[in-house]
Structure 1
Amino acid sequence: MGNLFSTNKKRQITDVDRAVLSLKTQRRKLVEYQRKVESVIERETAAARELLKEKKKERALLCLKKKKYQEQLLQKVDAWIFNVEEQITNIEVVGRQKDVFDSLKSGHSTIKELQSEISIDDVQKLMDETAEAKEYQDEVNRILGEKLSSMEEDEVNAEFDKLEEELLDVDLPPVPVVPEQKLPTEVVEDEEELPEVPSEPVKVRGPTEETTELPDVPTRPVKERVAIREEPLTA
């Protein structure tokens, strides 16, 4: 089901892809051969060491010659691997360059296609219409911005005063109605009159009904008086 609705197209295999695949396969085989040669070199070295221990110098010398040949072969294999890897890298770089070129070419074609839809005459006509619209709007703004005549100013001020008076009439509270009956001005007789506040010191009357004035309040601290009780003389 997923394949039916998939919009991704499979990438087509090109000759470049086949060449890169062939080079990578050859590199893998060379690496395997390199490991084989290294193992032969290690084996010949170990054999020469054992033969020397057994005092078999001629055979030990033969093993060392084989080892030398394998070392030379190993150097050639290393060079082959290097050349293959370099070739793979060059092909990949050229492929990337081609992809970039194709993208640039496609972008250039798109630009040319878009430019073909827009002509110079259409652009010039659009600019002229825009300039005319701007001039028209500037003229409208100029007319609206002109000052009014003195008569028009008076009419505007009169209308403003009228609106202001209407707003004042709406905002002011209603005036209370004055009652026709007069309010009483006399004090009710039943109310008890309060005594007047005395303006002189109040005199206190004692049991003899004589007027006694109160002493002044002392301004200094009062010293306590100690009552001395006289004791009777003994006979």
Structure 2
Amino acid sequence: MGNNPSKVTAQDKAILDLKIQRDKLHQYQRRITVLTDKETDIARQMLAAGDKKRALLALRRKKYQESLLAKTDAQLDQLEQLTRNVEFALIQKDIVFGLQQGTKVLQEIHAEMGGIEHVEKLMGETADAVAYQQEVSEMLGGRISNQDEEEVEDELAALEAEVNGPSPVAVLPNAPDTVLPASQAAEDEQLVKAKQRQPERQAMLA
């Protein structure tokens, strides 16, 4: 099986394609880290300005970019394991399909690059910037999972606490700790004794 040159060539080609995708992914990871750091900073600035909506948009875009990288990374790991399989011919179709999908996701990541100027549009006030923000919001609408949305909300709350300080905690009034005056205590004691004697009087009258 190992002496078949066509099989070795196909496997070598698949491994080479994987290496190209892996190298490209690592390049994107370095570039996106710069962008996501900037998006976090923009979210912080927007919260300081009281604009929670745009802060949330910046964090949602950041989460989407991170999820694209994670998805591609996991897919490449899986494909690398497949190419090591001795029955390469049986899984070759799956590997080719996986590489095609990886290329598609890498293209999505490339489209997300855009540069710092695009990220800064997330806090712009011009008509062009507002239109871009709307476009990003609509694009993210169906591409972020519920779990990612929850994580974005948690990150927003953490940033909000960092920028504005922790939310004030309501302080309940202390329970009264004053001692009743002696006269009031005596009256209370007489009332209790009178209630205790009441059944005895009723029995005598009967």
TM-score using structure 1 length: 0.30
Q: Which has the higher contact order (CA 8 A, sep 6+)?
A: 2
Larger radius of gyration: 1
Greater helix content:
2
TM value normalised by structure 2: 0.33
